[in-house]
Amino acid sequence: MKRRDTIFIGFMLFALFFGAGNLIYPVSLGMEAGSSYFPAILGFVLTGVGLPIITVVAISLVRNGAVELASRVHPLFGIIFTSIIYLAIGPFFGIPRAANVGFETGVAPWIGGVTTSGLFVFTLIFFTLVFLTSLNPSKLVDRVGQWLTPALFLAILGLVVGSFFLLHGDIQPSQEKYSTQPFSTGFIEGYLTMDAIASLAFGIIVVTSFRDRGISDPKELTYRTLQAGLVTALGLTSVYVSIGWIGAKMATEGQFSNGSAILSSAANLMYGNIGTMLLGLIVLLACFTTCVGLTVACGQFFSNRFRLLSYKIVIFIITIISFFVSNLGLNEIIAYSVPVLVFLYPIAIVLVILTFTGNLFRHSPYVYRGAVLLTGLISLRDGLAEFGFSMSFAEPFVSLLPLYTFSLGWVIPAIIGGIIGLVIDYVKNSETNR
């Protein structure tokens, strides 16, 4: 296997990740963080880049992907949790969000802005093409890795270079939450890219790509996956830091409804209609590729798990649901996705950490169950709080947790749950050996 194959697979992974959230959240962060931009973007990169790459590497350590990872808690939990993950990154949040960003950036500037009828017509055409492309996606990955990713880099490079010379706005003071906790706020914002949970699906694509190229030794497979992940990490970090800086420079240019609007306005300010058209085309292609990748991943997962449903039927259902959810609009999708991600992310993080440390406790299911149970209780409370459900009775206890102020209140409970599981495992083994 040649080194360039590893680079192309890294490019492929970048392009699969690079969709809606990778554009709209960093630029919004830059605008809101202002003078606290650098600690905020550092937190964002840790969850938006570090966690996805670590998760992809974790997938390379197991044979059956995310299901095997979660089944170490319990086989039923493995199916349920992984299904929720696929639904979240697929038809309920990830795919509709990408379609909306493609519309707002690539089409809306040319039809007089975002309209309900315009979004309806666009998504009807868009998801028809997604469905047709997903029917036979075998050639897509290679084309993405070799052609689309370099084109994305060049387009973003043009925006970034232009921002240093053509955007003259001053960096503004931090807004609201970024003024007191820029790092932890950026850390949570990184959840919204969905890349860490998307990597549970994309990881198996990377591993399969290496196996198809003759890599069968487990250690070499993990090493190659890490190498490809580092290529992806370098690309994503460069994009996030650069796009976020554009947002910081745009803070004096007016009020914007979301990151898509900020980016479109920046491109127009720097390069006029040509800039808007180029950005729109690239973003549209990137979002389309991400939607196809997610549709294929969901189709393969659910058709393999539920044999009564063929792959074709599953991707048809996914595109139909995605179409209807997309027509809620970008801001609505973002609003209801945040609480779900706040609940899911800590559990996914704990599962990945346990995968790497599992040899220390022989991958005991009791350790997995204890850690995931207590993590899930805290993250469920946090998710419900994001939904607006008042849980005042729990607040005095939760607020005492270390790292609570950094939105990481689940960390210590996860450790305690793991220790309790380790004790139970020891007792069970002692009784067995008597």
pLDDT (0 to 100) of residue 106: 83
In this structure, the answer to whether residues 11 and 45 fall within a common structural domain is yes
Given a cut of 80, whether residue 219 has pLDDT beyond it is: yes
To which residue do tokens 């059956």 refer? 64
In this structure, the answer to whether residues 382 and 246 fall within a common structural domain is no
181 occurs within a structural domain: yes
Phi-psi label, residue 173: left if phi above 0, alpha if psi -120 to 50, beta otherwise: beta
332 occurs within a structural domain: no
In this structure, the answer to whether residues 71 and 217 fall within a common structural domain is yes
In this structure, the answer to whether residues 258 and 381 fall within a common structural domain is no
Given a cut of 90, whether residue 73 has pLDDT beyond it is: yes
396 occurs within a structural domain: yes
User: DSSP readout, 263-306?
Assistant: HHHHHHHHHHHHHHHHHHHHHHHHHHHHHHHHHHHHHHHHHHH-
Q: Measured between alpha carbons, how far is 23 from 121 in angstroms, rounded to an integer?
A: 23
Tens-place pLDDT, residues 174-194? 887 888 889 988 988 887 787
In this structure, the answer to whether residues 362 and 214 fall within a common structural domain is no
Q: Measured between alpha carbons, how far is 136 from 140 in angstroms, rounded to an integer?
A: 9
In this structure, the answer to whether residues 181 and 291 fall within a common structural domain is yes
Q: Which two tokens stand for residue 318?
A: 């996914």
Given a cut of 60, whether residue 143 has pLDDT beyond it is: no
Domain interval for residue 434: 337-434
Tens-place pLDDT, residues 370-407? 999 999 999 988 888 888 777 777 777 777 788 777 77
In this structure, the answer to whether residues 315 and 384 fall within a common structural domain is no
Q: How many Cα atoms occupy the beta-carbon half-sphere of 288 within 13 Å?
A: 24
In this structure, the answer to whether residues 102 and 63 fall within a common structural domain is yes
Given a cut of 60, whether residue 330 has pLDDT beyond it is: yes
234 occurs within a structural domain: yes
Q: Please give the span between the terminal C-alpha atoms of the chain, in angstroms, as a whole number.
A: 52
Count of Cβ atoms closer than 10 Å to residue 345 Cβ: 23
CATH number at residue 252: 1.20.1740.10
In this structure, the answer to whether residues 358 and 275 fall within a common structural domain is no
Give the end of a domain, one of 298, 327, 356: 327
In this structure, the answer to whether residues 205 and 261 fall within a common structural domain is yes
368 occurs within a structural domain: yes
Could you tell me which of 130, 124, 145 has the C-alpha nearest to residue 16? 145
Q: Which two tokens stand for residue 107?
A: 């089409």
- pLDDT class of 423 with cuts at 50, 70, 90: very high
In this structure, the answer to whether residues 77 and 199 fall within a common structural domain is yes
Give the end of a domain, one of 327, 361, 383: 327
In this structure, the answer to whether residues 278 and 377 fall within a common structural domain is no
Count of Cβ atoms closer than 10 Å to residue 100 Cβ: 31
Domain count, the chain: 2
C-alpha 235: how far from chain center: 15
97 occurs within a structural domain: yes
- What average pLDDT does the segment 83-99 reach? 90
